[in-house]
């Protein structure tokens, strides 16, 4: 629970001595409150990009608040298991959590749409949806059901398609495939005849090594190199159709959030926004170098899903998402909001980013720039 430490109020002392009434001293400010928080995460402590992003958030809040909020960060399993962290925040056992919304779909199914939707928004589009497309308001209502206040708090950008020990040449190759893949992407794999499993980072490598799963996705080169997946899988597929952008969630117990003064609320909000962008920038930067290490030093075979496979996965995604949202009004609300935003975003991105990237890839008569 939050521990509040109040400085001795000069006002109280002044009132007792009559100094305040004498008019010789200005009325002092109300004593500041100090808060000692604990943050639990779904990540291994200090795991690159994810665990370090949570620690960065804690540090920024402490520095910006000049120590009025101090946060100790705990990795998965240190206080509660990885996939139980939101329950600990919801019940007030700890004050704050960090993870990804699709891990909480068993509690509120609509939450999984907040993290990533197959063939959905890019990171830039997703951030725009949260900030200007109504996403923040929708997420706040969903998290309030679990007694939490939500913040977008990091984004991986487009992910990789996953690690496989066999080639994926057609949609039929997913049949019977045991794959660690959470969220809506897992439901699409199920529709393709696969057997999806959903567990957090600490359990992925042992499952891959033991044969409990045949394939896994996680994030991208930066994290996947650190996790060592190249030791147990041969083929590294792209693109990450299932998570074109993955929003990480920061959340605070709602009662604790509501009790904060406005200046501390502003600090926590601003720190989350900063970390949201910084984590994305880190992934963009680190993925470049990590991919080279995987290919050149570890002999990973990089492979692209064929257009045939991607089209089949896209068709299944449409069916699965329509079915899942048909019977759940909150899920339908999130999905329809995302679809509206996606429609407008695709029109602009097609004539902006897409055509620019194609132009940038063209050979120039004078060779590469730089």
- The domain locations on the chain are 34-155+246-285, 162-244+286-359
Task: Evaluate whether 34-155+246-285 and 162-244+286-359 have a shared fold.
Answer: yes
- Return the CATH number of 34-155+246-285, one of 3.30.930.10, 3.40.190.170, 1.10.357.10, 3.30.1060.10: 3.40.190.170
Distances 247 to 68, 112, 136, 158, 364 between C-alpha atoms, Å: 28, 10, 12, 10, 36
Provide the CATH number for the domain formed by 162-244+286-359 in this structure: 3.40.190.10
The predicted pLDDT at position 18 comes to: 35
The predicted pLDDT at position 31 comes to: 55
The predicted pLDDT at position 27 comes to: 33
CA distance 299 to 345: 37
Tokens of 106: 């068993």
Number of helices followed by number of strands (H, E) in the chain: 15, 12
The residues with which 216 forms a beta bridge, in sequence order, are: 163, 180
CA distance 238 to 119: 13
The predicted pLDDT at position 202 comes to: 85
Spacing of C-alpha 85 from chain mean position: 14
Phi, psi of 82 (to 5 degrees): -55, -45
- Taking only Cα atoms into account, the Rg of the chain, rounded to an integer number of angstroms, comes to 23
Using CA atoms of 198, 285, 85, 257 in order, give the dihedral in degrees to the nearest 10: -140
| pLDDT one digit per residue (tens) for the chain, 370 residues | 444 444 333 333 333 333 233 333 333 344 578 999 999 999 999 999 999 999 999 999 999 999 999 999 999 999 999 999 999 999 999 999 999 999 999 999 999 999 999 999 999 999 999 999 999 999 999 999 999 999 999 999 999 999 999 999 999 999 999 999 999 999 999 999 999 998 888 899 999 999 999 999 999 999 999 999 999 999 999 999 999 999 999 999 999 999 999 999 999 999 999 999 999 999 999 999 999 999 999 999 999 999 999 999 999 999 999 999 999 999 999 999 999 999 999 999 999 999 999 998 888 766 665 5
């Amino acid at each position: 629970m939050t521990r509040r430490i109040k400085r001795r109020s000069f006002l109280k002392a002044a009132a007792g001595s009559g100094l305040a009434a004498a008019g010789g001293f200005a009325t002092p400010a109300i004593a500041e409150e100090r808060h000692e928080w604990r943050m639990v995460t779904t990540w291994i402590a200090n795991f690159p990009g994810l665990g370090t992003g949570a620690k960065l958030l804690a540090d920024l809040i402490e520095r910006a608040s000049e120590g009025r909020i101090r946060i100790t960060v705990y990795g998965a399993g240190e206080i509660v298991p990885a996939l139980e962290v939101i329950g600990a925040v919801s019940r007030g056992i700890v004050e704050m959590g960090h993870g990804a919304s699709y891990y909480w779909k068993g509690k509120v199914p609509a939450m999984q749409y907040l993290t990533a939707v197959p063939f959905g928004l890019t990171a830039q589009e997703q951030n725009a949806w949260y900030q200007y497309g109504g996403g923040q308001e929708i997420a706040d209502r969903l998290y309030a059901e679990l007694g939490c206040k939500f913040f977008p708090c990091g984004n991986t950008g487009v992910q990789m398609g996953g690690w496989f020990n066999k080639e994926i040449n057609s949609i039929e190759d997913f049949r019977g495939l045991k794959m660690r893949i959470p969220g809506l992407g897992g439901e699409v794999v199920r529709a393709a005849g696969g057997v999806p499993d959903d567990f957090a980072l600490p359990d992925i490598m042992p499952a891959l090594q033991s044969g409990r799963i045949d394939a896994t996705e996680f994030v991208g080169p930066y994290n996947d190199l650190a996790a060592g997946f190249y030791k147990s899988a041969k083929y590294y597929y792209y693109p990450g159709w299932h998570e074109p952008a993955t929003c990480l969630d920061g959340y605070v117990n709602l009662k604790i959030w509501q009790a904060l003064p406005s200046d501390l609320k502003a600090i926590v909000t601003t720190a989350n926004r900063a970390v949201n962008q910084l984590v994305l920038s880190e992934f963009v930067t680190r993925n470049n170098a990590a991919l080279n290490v995987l290919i050149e030093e570890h002999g990973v075979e990089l492979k692209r899903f064929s257009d045939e496979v991607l089209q089949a996965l896209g068709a299944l995604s449409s069916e699965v998402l329509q079915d899942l949202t048909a019977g759940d009004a909150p899920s339908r609300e999130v999905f329809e909001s995302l679809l509206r935003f996606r429609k407008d975003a695709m029109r602009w991105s097609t004539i902006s980013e897409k055509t620019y990237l194609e132009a940038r890839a063209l050979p120039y008569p004078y060779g590469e720039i730089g």
